[in-house]
């Protein structure tokens, strides 16, 4: 979510970092890995429920938790906009930063060796999706349904962007390392991008080569065996 102006980021970054520190410390004490989804889900639901209360006019008291502090910061920063639920962008930005910071802090603590493994990706997506589904089930005044719709949309969007921006790059590295697992007639293939000097500059999934006849598949398999 790059749409948050630079001048609005420092306060959000401060609150996100404090929350990431706490989650990473709890996770390190648990000596767990998959538990990251449980901690994420708890924090996400706390944040969105606080935002919901603020949006419908229940200002509440001084923030009592790191989640409350982050939610209040999102709400206050977004007040300069003149439309409903302007904090959805701040929510997207903050959670996008959070799910990157926690793994980084786990590596810094020496609790993890890597910031991303598939299980981390899957647990993170699960926490975002389950949080969205729980908010979807929230019983509210019909006049406030637009708030829930926005929250659910933002949470699914964060998950989708995480797949597109992070996991896709991770998959490319794993395909290079271990080979692809898709060999049916319909699939995308990894292609190298080269500049005018024929120097490799990156990779992408080429959808235009997604179909192969049975003969082409056999030729490709034979080529791999020869290599």
Q: Hey, how many other C-beta atoms are within 10 angstroms of the C-beta on 215?
A: 8
> pLDDT value at position 217?
58
Are residue 166 and residue 54 in the same domain, yes or no?
yes
| Model confidence pLDDT, tens digit, residues 214-227 | 566 566 556 555 55
Q: What pTM was estimated for this model as a whole? A: 0.85
- Cα angle vertex 173, ends 121, 155, to 5°? 25
Are residue 209 and residue 114 in the same domain, yes or no?
no
Q: Are 150 and 157 in contact (CB under 8 A)?
A: no
Mean pLDDT of 143-169: 94
pLDDT bracket for residue 200 (50, 70, 90): confident
Mean pLDDT of 189-193: 79
Are residue 42 and residue 153 in the same domain, yes or no?
yes
Are residue 155 and residue 198 in the same domain, yes or no?
no
Are residue 115 and residue 212 in the same domain, yes or no?
no
Q: What is the DSSP-derived secondary structure letter of residue 163?
A: I
Residue 183 lies in a domain: no
Are residue 151 and residue 221 in the same domain, yes or no?
no
> pLDDT value at position 210?
47
Are residue 97 and residue 41 in the same domain, yes or no?
yes
Residue 113 lies in a domain: yes
Residue 12 lies in a domain: yes
Mean pLDDT of 133-140: 86
Range of the domain at 109: 6-178
């Amino acid at each position: 979510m790059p749409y948050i102006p630079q001048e609005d980021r420092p306060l959000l970054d401060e609150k996100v970092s404090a929350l990431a520190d706490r989650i990473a410390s709890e996770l390190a004490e648990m000596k767990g890995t998959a538990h990251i989804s449980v901690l994420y889900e708890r924090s996400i639901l706390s944040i969105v429920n606080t935002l919901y209360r603020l949006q419908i006019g229940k200002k509440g008291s001084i923030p009592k938790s790191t989640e409350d502090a982050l939610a209040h910061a999102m709400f206050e920063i977004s007040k300069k906009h003149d439309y409903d639920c302007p904090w959805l962008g701040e929510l997207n930005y903050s959670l996008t930063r959070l799910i990157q910071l926690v793994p980084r802090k786990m590596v810094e603590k020496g609790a993890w060796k890597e910031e991303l493994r598939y299980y981390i990706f899957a647990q993170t997506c699960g926490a975002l999706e389950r949080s969205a589904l729980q908010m979807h089930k929230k019983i509210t005044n019909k006049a406030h349904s637009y708030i829930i719709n926005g929250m659910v949309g933002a949470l699914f969007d964060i998950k989708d962007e995480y797949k597109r921006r992070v996991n896709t790059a991770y998959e490319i590295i794993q395909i290079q390392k271990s080979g692809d697992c898709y060999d049916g007639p319909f699939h995308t293939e990894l292609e190298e991008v080269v500049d005018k000097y024929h120097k490799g500059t990156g990779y992408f999934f080429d959808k235009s080569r997604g179909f192969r006849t049975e003969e082409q598949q056999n030729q490709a398999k034979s080529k791999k065996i020869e290599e």
